[in-house]
Amino acid sequence: MKKEIRTIKTPVTVEKREDGTIKSIVGYPIVYNSDSEDMGFIERIAPGAATKALKKSDVRGLKNHDASLIFARTGVNLTLTEDKDGVRMEATPLDTFNFRETAKEVDLGLLDGQSFAFNILADEWKDLDKAKPQRTITEFEMIYDVGPVTYPAYPDTTVGLRTLEEAREAAKDIIPAQNETITIEIDEERFDFTGEARFDDAAEKIKSLRSDAKPTFPDSDNLDPDPTIITDEVVKDETLDKINAKIKEYEK
């Protein structure tokens, strides 16, 4: 997986001591169980998604993801703590220009959002046939950097959108087109099935009709009804094979 970047409008703040000196830069760059803005898909991060990644990641504190503007690093002055809400960042002061300037800009409200860079080990997609599919990140592989940003409203979704297309491609055999319908005719009755569960629904209907038609004393003139499959899918044999496979599942 390639590196992805997300930005959020959750505020980053400066905590001060009683004497007014900077104690730390704090915030939640990673938030759990919160729907993202519209990115061509809606994304949320599952609780615990960062647990393993935090143990192995050497995370930098960067302003605007700029490596030349580093103000913190894990093991030096950056602490990342996971809780039920997400991952909390705390960067304590260093005697560097970058830390002083970043803290000043956060304190003045010039940097009013947060961001983090990462790649993913595991995610889940649903509603792939809808206008706004939903992605849930279940486990990060690595977290590269966290920090305040100037423009929190502009996430980089290039990789995420590419991952969406890959998920759609992988699931294309179960995602119905808008006009895709399976029609079954049995004994002059017609049944139409649409949607993601159309194969299951068609198989269940055939099985129920066969069960109703099954004679008490079978003979050569009393056979299960033979369904006629009418579908606008390109390969009709594959459609029938899928339905038959579903019927076998129901009969187990």
CB 70 within 8 A of CB 98: yes
- Check pLDDT > 50 for residue 3: yes
pLDDT at 176: 46
Name the region of 213 (left: φ>0; alpha: ψ -120 to 50; beta: rest): alpha
List the domain boundaries for the chain.
4-170, 182-251
CA atoms of 198 and 185, how far apart (whole Å):
15
Strands (E), 133-188: 134-149, 182-186
Per-residue confidence band for 196, with pLDDT thresholds at 50, 70 and 90: low
pLDDT at 231: 56
pLDDT at 167: 62
pLDDT at 203: 77
- Check pLDDT > 90 for residue 15: yes
Nearest to residue 244, comparing CAs of 215, 207, 214, 219? Answer: 207
* Span of 9-18, 27-36, 187-196 with lowest mean pLDDT: 187-196
* % residues pLDDT > 70 (the chain): 69
Nearest to residue 145, comparing CAs of 64, 50, 231, 249? Answer: 64
Per-residue confidence band for 191, with pLDDT thresholds at 50, 70 and 90: confident
pLDDT at 174: 47
- Check pLDDT > 90 for residue 209: no
- Check pLDDT > 50 for residue 30: yes
Q: pTM of the entire structure?
A: 0.63
**Long-range pairs, 50-54, Cβ under 8 A, ≥24:** 50/82, 50/86, 50/87, 50/140, 50/143, 51/82, 52/121, 52/139, 52/140, 53/118, 53/121, 53/139, 53/140, 53/141, 53/142, 53/143, 54/80, 54/82, 54/87, 54/143
Q: What is the CA radius of gyration of the chain?
A: 27
In the three-class reduction of DSSP (H, G, I as helix; E, B as strand; rest coil), residue 35 is classed as coil
pLDDT top residue among 174 and 192: 192
- The per-residue pLDDT of the chain, averaged, comes to 80
Nearest to residue 116, comparing CAs of 84, 77, 86? Answer: 86
